[in-house]
Chains A and B, each alone.
Chain A
Amino acid sequence: GADDTEEKTQTIDPKHIFPPQHTDMPEEMRVETMELCVTACEKFATNNESAAKMIKESMDKKFGSSWHVVIGEGFGFEITHEVKNLLYMFFGGGLAVCVWKCS
């Protein structure tokens, strides 16, 4: 299991652009948000909280108030989000990032 995922990440990482698992954002917003998430996760590789904070604050500034961000390796969730404001993607073979807007 873990070994496989590590192997997979070695083959996956060079391929930059990965589509998100689930999203209903418009194209531009999605691209921007994904880049932001990747930057944040790379910057705060050890600290999920700081990464989430960075993402949330940038999203609030760019796209309006009340964004929520969850980063982790193992969690289940059920959320209500504003339509066209949800992004759920995986990063680096082991992290899942869920970003949504709801005031």
Chain B
Amino acid sequence: MSVSHKVGTMKSKQVSSFVMQDEEEGLDTAEGEEWMQGKTLVKPPDQLDLTEAELNEEITRVLKASNPNAPQNVVRYSFKEGCYKPIVFVDQMAIHFELEGNLVHKESDEGRRLMAKQAEVDDGGGVERPDNVAIKAAKREQKLTNQFNFNERASQTLNNTPRDISCQTEPPPRANFSATANQWEIYDFYVEELQRREKSKEKHEGQFLNKEEDKSKKKMIQAETQNDDISQLAKVVKIIERMVNQNIFDDVAQDFMYFEDASDEFRGEKGTLLPLWTFQYDKAKSLSVTALCWNHKYNDLFAVGLGSHEFTQQGGGMLLFYTLKNPSYPEFIFNTASGVMCLDIHEHLSYLVAVGLYDGCVAVYNLKKKTDQPIYNSRASSGKHTSAVMQVKWQKDDLDSNHNFISVSADGRLVSWTLVKHELVFTEIIKLPVIDTIPDDLKDVIPTVGTSLDFHKQKDYSFLVGTEHGKIHKGSKYYSSKFLEKYDAHFMNVTRVKWNPFHPDVFISCGWDWMVKIWDQTMKSPVFTFELKTSVTDVAWAPYSSTVFAAVTTDGKVHVFDLNINKYEALCQQKVVSKKTKLFNIEFNPVHPIIIVGDDRGHVTSLKLSPNLRKKPKEKKGQDLPKGPEVEIAKMEQLLSSMR
């Protein structure tokens, strides 16, 4: 105390003395110079002006520890002595500065009061003073720190500056979808689903591939029906096309089904042919019809072979398939390199079509396959005909159950073709005999042109071949060197020879010599002969009667005969095409009472037979007439016997 007291008082004394000095005397003392170095001398206005002598006077100062302001003559009354006594020891402390602090000990009453108040105000949140106090208290309670050797120290690390960042994620992608919910939509969907299941069941039976299942499932899931669209559309479009056609040709369709010419009753024996649809194809305009064939399985489907009969006008050819349900456009179209001369549809496998071409090739088409090309073609094989193939006929499957057919061609050979795997294997059957008028050395060179071929319905080894010279040869598949029989049928080209579908001995032939002749195979001369005024190009038996047949001629007329009714005249001779159009082919539909005729313009006309032409023998009262082939045979037999 005494030390600090001294220092403090000395300092204060110094300050006070300096202040006093400055006020009393002036500047320029040694201590004053130190103090006021660098400062300009500013004379205070109330400074005493002293003379030089007075300024130079040395004044000694003594520093004492005593307070100059402290009273030096304090007296106190002493009750002991009853008089005033001077107090020697006077308090020398001088207080220069005093500051009242506001820290309150928290243990004291006031501190506690204040703490309570602050707790009320702040609701126990983290506030500075009471909290710190509280935390510190807690710390002290928990830590049980060493009271003598504990040092608590806190520091603050650098806090990174806070930043505001905001961002927005991309919204999930959206798509539009629209549909209609209707009873029929639901129904259609279920039907499709059932079909799919059936297909997948088949697949399961055939191949069990999990991958396929997954794929089909995926396809169903992604069922926007992208793949099915076009193919489904094709089906629908086909149906619509047929509907439209039916609407357009509605009257024709009605006639086809229901019309029976009532005027036939008044016409006596005669009948008429009612023209129905005409089938034509634009691209076939330059070609003429060379072959017609009905499909046995689908009675409304028929095949048309297009080519050219003229030697000089050979171009390409076509094979078309029409159906009565769609008369405006063919169902199947095949282009061939050369003109089609003949065709035949397999009896049982109605998708197999054998075609004979003008350049001597034979081809087999498979309608089930979607390709344009034939599945078999005889081009490459060596046995192909050297001349136009005039007729092809399917045969029964051979012992190895391979399909086969026989063809006759203008080079005079009958060849059997077998479909073995991927190729056609040929087997020569027989060569047509050369006629006698040709000199011996040319016999090998000049062939006998075979123009027509027909196989017996029941005894299918027996066949007839018609030739260009007007002869008909009967042969058998078992004899390859010789023919069994020869008939001098016509003076000119035999255009068609056909067995009667019912009677086993009867066949019909027609030729360019204007004749149609009916033969009994046991007799050398014809049973019936009919002369039609122009070249007869085709003749066909009716499938429903053994005595009805029809023939077409180059003047565009169709002649229908029924031998049961009239043995000498045609029941109907009707021109069915425009003038100067030649008819080349005729075929009866196996089921419906219609015939189709092909002409040289590439058109096929369908005609309905009037009732008179379709007459069955009259029923005698009270007797049930047995129907069937026996009746037909009996009819024919009757006729034949009458002629003999």
Contacts and interface: CB of A to CB of B under 8 A. Distances in A.
Interface stretch (B60-68, B155-163, B171-179): B171-179
A15 B221 CA distance: 18
5 contacts: A8-B190, A22-B224, A82-B172, A83-B173, A93-B187
A72 B185 CA distance: 13
Contact of B190 (A90, A95, A100, A102): A90
Given A18-B193, A74-B183, A81 B223 contact: no
Nearest to A91: B186
Contacts of A23: 221
Contacts of B237: none
A79 B191 CA distance: 26
Top 3 closest A-B pairs, CB basis?
Answer: A96-B181, A78-B178, A76-B180
Contact of B179 (A24, A77, A83, A94): A77
A5 B183 CA distance: 8
A70 B182 CA distance: 13
B186 A5 contact: yes
Given A19-B193, A80-B175, A94 B183 contact: yes
Contacts of A72: 181
Nearest to B173: A83
Residue from A2, A21, A95 having most chain B Cβ neighbours under 10 A? A21
Given A5-B186, A22-B179, 13 more contacts: A1-B183, A5-B187, A21-B189, A22-B224, A74-B182, A76-B179, A77-B181, A81-B174, A81-B176, A82-B173, A90-B181, A90-B186, A95-B186
Contacts of A5: 183, 186-187, 190
A85 B176 CA distance: 11
Interface string A12-56: 100100111111100000100000000000000000000000000
Residue from B178, B190, B220 having most chain A Cβ neighbours under 10 A? B190
Contact of B174 (A15, A19, A21, A80): A80
Interface string B506-539: 0000000000000000000000000000000000
Given A11-B194, A82-B172, A21 B187 contact: no
A66 to B, nearest CB: 11
Contacts of B175: 24, 80-83, 86
Nearest to B197: A15
A1 B179 contact: no
A21 B172 contact: no
B610 to A, nearest CB: 43
A59 interface: no
Given A11-B194, A18-B193, A82-B172, A77 B178 contact: yes
Nearest to A102: B174
Nearest to B217: A19
Interface of B: 172-187, 189-191, 193-194, 197, 217, 220-224
A82 B174 contact: yes
A94 B178 CA distance: 19
A12 B189 CA distance: 12
Contact of B189 (A2, A81, A86, A90): A90
B177 A21 contact: no
Given A18-B193, A19-B193, A100 B177 contact: yes
A98 interface: yes
Contacts of A94: 183, 186
Contacts of B176: 78-81
A88 to B, nearest CB: 6
Contacts of B177: 22, 78-81, 86, 88, 100
B469 to A, nearest CB: 66
Contacts of B223: 19, 21-22
Contacts of B181: 72-77, 90, 96, 98
A27 to B, nearest CB: 9
A8 B195 CA distance: 13
A35 B177 CA distance: 22
Nearest to A12: B190
B214 to A, nearest CB: 11
B511 to A, nearest CB: 60
Residue from B172, B173, B182, B185 having most chain A Cβ neighbours under 10 A? B172
A83 B191 CA distance: 28
Contacts of A1: 183-184, 187
B224 to A, nearest CB: 7
A94 B189 CA distance: 11
Given A18-B193, A21-B223, A88 B179 contact: yes
Nearest to B224: A22
A59 B68 CA distance: 97
A90 B183 CA distance: 10
B174 A73 contact: no
Contacts of A100: 177
A12 B186 CA distance: 12
Given A23-B221, A73-B181, A8 B173 contact: no
A53 B174 CA distance: 23
A61 B423 CA distance: 69
Residue from B179, B181, B191 having most chain A Cβ neighbours under 10 A? B181
B184 A76 contact: no
Contacts of B197: 15
A37 B185 CA distance: 19
A83 B180 CA distance: 20
Nearest to B222: A24
Contacts of B182: 74
A92 B222 CA distance: 22
A77 to B, nearest CB: 6
A60 B224 CA distance: 27
A61 B127 CA distance: 43
Contacts of B220: 19
Contacts of A74: 181-183
A29 B224 CA distance: 20
Nearest to B172: A82
A73 B217 CA distance: 26
Contacts of A85: 172
Nearest to A18: B193
A21 B173 contact: no
A102 B185 CA distance: 25
B183 A73 contact: yes
A81 B175 CA distance: 5
